[in-house]
Amino acid sequence: MPNPPYPVPPRNRKGTRTGYTTGTCASAAAKAATLALRQGRPVETVSVTLPIGIEATFTPVEWQVSNDEAYCCIVKDAGDDPDVTHGALVCARARRRVGEATIGLEGGVGVGRVTLPGLGLEVGGPAINPVPRRQILENVADALGGAAPTTALEVIIEVPEGEQLAKRTLNPRLGIVGGISILGTTGLVYPYSTAAWRASVIQAVEMAAANSVDKVVLATGGRSERFAMSLFPELPKVAFVEVSVFTGDGLKTCLRCGVKSAVFVAMIGKLVKTAQGHFTTHVAGNQVDMNFLAGVAAACGASVSVVAQMHSANTARHYMEICLANGLERVLQRLTEIALDRCAEFIEGRMDMEMALIDFEGGVLGRAARPRIADAQAEGGEPFIQRLAKSDEELRDTPEVDEFEE
């Protein structure tokens, strides 16, 4: 993204400053444009109510006001969150129209269009999620004095750089084309919000299931996802989900949505953590256990000297390099099998599972599969999905994530 034309506070990677969602920015732009249309002149500031009930004040820019139309933008401030829209302009155009005295809301330039079912949005409509849609309409109504509109009003949300920004989001995979989504359930963006990424993982799996995908491929990063596509060229793009650190959420959502088969494709670091039984594989939250890895190698017949090197390895990648340098590909295969076992245990064998370990060029270092061995009803009559759901609160409180991309 080019340097923003308007200054925004710099982001601190370790900071805690909250920001505002695209939904809040769109609400502010829409309310300001509506006020300007009524008054015939720009407003210096505008205050909007967020979904959580608090107010925020913004300074609109890029004003254009005429008798029948007003246009302005809000500079998106995402706080310290690594949001791709930080510094972008989120704009609204309010115009009078002929027809019934209602408020219409539409997406314009840079706001994505929905092309696939499964998102809870109308196919063919703008990618403006339900909460932001309500937030925008309520704030526009407030600009009209809280009364029903006496003339027909159309509000169009625009994001001038939205089409380019969307390429750095999951929107293309979700079938949202032409721009970004207008999002936000609270109105605020929290720094390094794992909740947003976790929600996108769940949504992507739901999208795959809604499009009748029987096999979902969970990849841990951008590169592993691209390599996974070459391993399974017969699958549609919607079948591939970048889970980042949220392996457990991806697997649970596959089960809940009735997906028949899940494939987990990972590079060495995330696969090792999965083999250790961690299903939220945050780099800081769960460390690689070199004693565990050395033990796997010893059980596979590695020499005492090689095992000693492994005990002193710096990273999982270093461990992998030691294996390859000493002809111990069988150790990497065994790690793949152990990771598969942990995943199968996590879902209690209630779905076909496959595991693939890939190197940094996409080569396969290990591959294993296990068929489903149980159905979705647990002993004692409690559905397994309900028991999995009981752990959701723990996963929601994941530590902040700093390695979304491999």
Domains detected in the chain:
19-189 (3.30.2110.10), 194-393 (no CATH)
- As beta bridge partners, residue 95 has 69, 154
pLDDT exceeds cutoff 50 at 184: yes
3-state secondary structure at position 372: coil
Share of the chain above pLDDT 90, in %: 68
3-state secondary structure at position 152: strand
Q: Which residues contact 363 (CB under 8 A, 6 or more apart)?
A: none
Cβ atoms within 10 Å of 308's Cβ, excluding its own:
11
The reported pLDDT for the residue numbered 272 is 95
Q: What is the mean pLDDT of residues 377-390?
A: 51
Q: What does pLDDT average to over the chain?
A: 87
- The two tokens of residue 350 are 């209630």
| Distance from the Cα of residue 278 to its chain's centroid | 20
pLDDT exceeds cutoff 60 at 395: no
- As beta bridge partners, residue 219 has 242, 265
The CA distance from 255 to 246, in Å, is 15
CA angle 36-38-42, nearest 5°?
Answer: 15
**Is 158 within 8 Å of 29 (Cβ atoms)?**
no
pLDDT in tens, 32-43: 999 999 999 999
- As beta bridge partners, residue 356 has 265, 367
The CA distance from 55 to 49, in Å, is 5
Q: pLDDT grade, residue 173 (50/70/90)?
A: confident
Cβ atoms within 10 Å of 121's Cβ, excluding its own:
20
pLDDT exceeds cutoff 60 at 378: no
Cβ atoms within 10 Å of 378's Cβ, excluding its own:
16
Name the least confident of 50-59, 158-167, 310-319.
310-319
Q: pTM to 2 decimals?
A: 0.64
For residue 17, CA distances in Å to 13, 77, 157, 189, 403 come to 10, 10, 26, 9, 20
The reported pLDDT for the residue numbered 31 is 98
Q: Which residues contact 220 (CB under 8 A, 6 or more apart)?
A: 242, 243, 244, 245, 247, 265, 266, 267, 270, 271, 281, 406
Long-range pairs of 37-44 with CB within 8 A, sequence gap ≥ 24: 37/65, 37/68, 37/69, 37/70, 37/94, 37/95, 37/96, 37/153, 38/143, 38/144, 40/65, 40/67, 41/65, 42/70, 42/72
- φ and ψ at residue 169, rounded to 5 degrees: -120, 180
Q: What is the mean pLDDT of residues 359-371?
A: 95
**Is 66 within 8 Å of 97 (Cβ atoms)?**
no
Q: What is the mean pLDDT of residues 46-50?
A: 97
217: exposed, middle or buried (Cβ count in 10 Å: 0-12, 13-18, 19+): buried
To which residue do tokens 């296990």 refer? 370
Q: Which residues contact 149 (CB under 8 A, 6 or more apart)?
A: 101, 102, 103, 141
